[in-house]
Amino acid sequence: MYRAITHNIQITVEPEFLADRSSPEGNRYFWAYTIEITNLGEEAVQLTHRHWRITDANGKLEQVRGAGVVGEQPKLGPGESFRYTSGCPLTTPSGIMVGTYRMLDEKGHEFDVDIPAFSLDSPYAKRILN
Protein backbone atom coordinates (compact mmCIF):
# COMPACT_ATOMS: atom_id res chain seq x y z
CA MET A 1 0.00 0.00 0.00
CA TYR A 2 1.14 3.53 -0.80
CA ARG A 3 0.11 6.59 1.24
CA ALA A 4 0.46 10.38 1.14
CA ILE A 5 -1.07 13.16 3.26
CA THR A 6 -1.30 16.69 1.85
CA HIS A 7 -3.37 19.52 3.40
CA ASN A 8 -5.08 17.03 5.76
CA ILE A 9 -6.21 14.82 2.87
CA GLN A 10 -4.90 11.24 3.00
CA ILE A 11 -4.60 9.26 -0.22
CA THR A 12 -3.94 5.51 -0.08
CA VAL A 13 -3.37 3.36 -3.16
CA GLU A 14 -3.40 -0.41 -3.62
CA PRO A 15 -2.39 -1.55 -7.13
CA GLU A 16 -3.01 -5.09 -8.38
CA PHE A 17 -1.80 -6.76 -11.59
CA LEU A 18 -4.66 -8.45 -13.46
CA ALA A 19 -3.25 -11.46 -15.31
CA ASP A 20 -6.67 -12.39 -16.74
CA ARG A 21 -6.91 -9.00 -18.51
CA SER A 22 -3.30 -9.03 -19.68
CA SER A 23 -1.70 -10.55 -22.76
CA PRO A 24 2.12 -10.58 -22.50
CA GLU A 25 2.49 -12.04 -26.00
CA GLY A 26 0.51 -9.04 -27.28
CA ASN A 27 2.40 -6.52 -25.09
CA ARG A 28 -0.73 -5.73 -23.07
CA TYR A 29 -0.48 -5.54 -19.29
CA PHE A 30 -3.34 -4.36 -17.10
CA TRP A 31 -3.54 -3.22 -13.49
CA ALA A 32 -6.42 -2.26 -11.23
CA TYR A 33 -5.78 0.25 -8.49
CA THR A 34 -7.99 1.06 -5.54
CA ILE A 35 -7.76 4.52 -4.04
CA GLU A 36 -9.17 5.76 -0.76
CA ILE A 37 -9.38 9.50 -0.15
CA THR A 38 -9.88 10.49 3.50
CA ASN A 39 -10.55 13.98 4.82
CA LEU A 40 -8.48 14.32 8.01
CA GLY A 41 -9.28 18.04 8.26
CA GLU A 42 -12.00 20.01 10.02
CA GLU A 43 -13.94 21.31 7.01
CA ALA A 44 -15.63 19.73 4.01
CA VAL A 45 -13.79 19.45 0.69
CA GLN A 46 -14.73 18.37 -2.82
CA LEU A 47 -12.55 16.58 -5.36
CA THR A 48 -13.00 18.45 -8.64
CA HIS A 49 -10.20 17.26 -10.98
CA ARG A 50 -7.46 14.67 -11.40
CA HIS A 51 -4.05 14.75 -13.08
CA TRP A 52 -2.11 11.52 -13.64
CA ARG A 53 1.43 11.02 -14.92
CA ILE A 54 1.88 7.42 -16.10
CA THR A 55 5.34 6.26 -17.13
CA ASP A 56 5.96 2.87 -18.70
CA ALA A 57 9.16 0.78 -18.45
CA ASN A 58 10.53 2.47 -21.59
CA GLY A 59 10.18 5.93 -20.05
CA LYS A 60 7.18 6.89 -22.19
CA LEU A 61 5.06 9.43 -20.28
CA GLU A 62 1.30 9.75 -20.64
CA GLN A 63 -0.61 12.49 -18.84
CA VAL A 64 -4.31 12.18 -18.05
CA ARG A 65 -6.38 15.12 -16.86
CA GLY A 66 -10.09 15.30 -16.23
CA ALA A 67 -12.98 16.21 -14.01
CA GLY A 68 -13.45 14.11 -10.89
CA VAL A 69 -12.82 10.38 -10.65
CA VAL A 70 -14.89 7.52 -12.08
CA GLY A 71 -17.55 10.02 -13.16
CA GLU A 72 -17.92 11.58 -9.69
CA GLN A 73 -16.76 14.70 -7.88
CA PRO A 74 -17.11 13.44 -4.30
CA LYS A 75 -17.67 15.76 -1.34
CA LEU A 76 -16.03 14.69 1.91
CA GLY A 77 -16.96 16.04 5.30
CA PRO A 78 -14.48 15.87 8.19
CA GLY A 79 -13.52 12.24 8.80
CA GLU A 80 -15.26 10.95 5.65
CA SER A 81 -13.69 8.77 2.97
CA PHE A 82 -14.35 7.96 -0.67
CA ARG A 83 -13.06 4.74 -2.22
CA TYR A 84 -12.96 3.76 -5.88
CA THR A 85 -11.25 1.33 -8.24
CA SER A 86 -9.98 2.09 -11.72
CA GLY A 87 -7.50 0.57 -14.14
CA CYS A 88 -4.40 1.22 -16.21
CA PRO A 89 -3.19 -0.61 -19.34
CA LEU A 90 0.47 -0.50 -20.41
CA THR A 91 2.42 -2.00 -23.29
CA THR A 92 5.34 -2.81 -20.95
CA PRO A 93 5.36 -5.23 -17.99
CA SER A 94 5.94 -2.47 -15.45
CA GLY A 95 5.50 1.24 -14.91
CA ILE A 96 4.85 3.99 -12.39
CA MET A 97 1.85 6.21 -11.72
CA VAL A 98 1.80 9.46 -9.74
CA GLY A 99 -0.53 12.42 -9.71
CA THR A 100 -2.61 15.03 -7.96
CA TYR A 101 -6.24 15.70 -7.13
CA ARG A 102 -7.57 19.26 -7.25
CA MET A 103 -9.71 19.94 -4.19
CA LEU A 104 -12.12 22.75 -3.35
CA ASP A 105 -12.76 23.80 0.26
CA GLU A 106 -15.87 25.38 1.79
CA LYS A 107 -14.43 28.89 1.31
CA GLY A 108 -13.94 28.36 -2.43
CA HIS A 109 -10.16 27.89 -2.26
CA GLU A 110 -8.65 25.33 -4.62
CA PHE A 111 -5.62 23.27 -3.67
CA ASP A 112 -3.83 20.16 -4.92
CA VAL A 113 -3.18 17.00 -2.94
CA ASP A 114 -0.55 14.44 -3.86
CA ILE A 115 -1.36 10.96 -5.08
CA PRO A 116 1.71 8.98 -4.01
CA ALA A 117 3.87 7.44 -6.71
CA PHE A 118 3.09 3.74 -6.99
CA SER A 119 4.70 0.94 -8.90
CA LEU A 120 2.90 -1.16 -11.50
CA ASP A 121 4.79 -4.45 -11.45
CA SER A 122 3.83 -7.65 -13.19
CA PRO A 123 5.38 -11.11 -12.92
CA TYR A 124 6.79 -10.43 -16.42
CA ALA A 125 8.89 -7.43 -15.35
CA LYS A 126 12.65 -7.93 -15.38
CA ARG A 127 14.11 -7.74 -11.89
CA ILE A 128 17.29 -5.70 -11.50
CA LEU A 129 19.32 -5.79 -8.32
CA ASN A 130 21.80 -3.05 -7.46
Chain segment 78-124, per-residue pLDDT in tens: 999 999 999 999 999 999 999 999 999 999 999 999 999 999 999 98
Q: Is residue 88 part of a domain?
A: yes
pLDDT at 125: 83
Which domain, by its residues, includes 49? 2-121
Q: Is residue 21 part of a domain?
A: yes
Q: Is residue 126 part of a domain?
A: no
CATH code of the domain in which 94 resides = 2.60.40.1470
pLDDT at 129: 62
Q: Is residue 127 part of a domain?
A: no
Does 126 or 58 have the greater pLDDT score?
Answer: 58
Q: How many CB atoms lie within 10 A of CB 75?
A: 14
pLDDT band of 130, cuts 50, 70, 90: low
- The residues pairing with 45 across neighbouring beta strands, listed in sequence order, are 76, 105
pLDDT band of 127, cuts 50, 70, 90: low
Q: The pTM is what?
A: 0.93
Q: Is residue 68 part of a domain?
A: yes
Q: Is residue 22 part of a domain?
A: yes
**Structural domain count of the chain:** 1
Closest CA to 115 of 41, 14, 24: 14
% of the chain with per-residue pLDDT over 70: 97
Q: Is residue 130 part of a domain?
A: no
Q: What is the DSSP letter of 20?
A: G
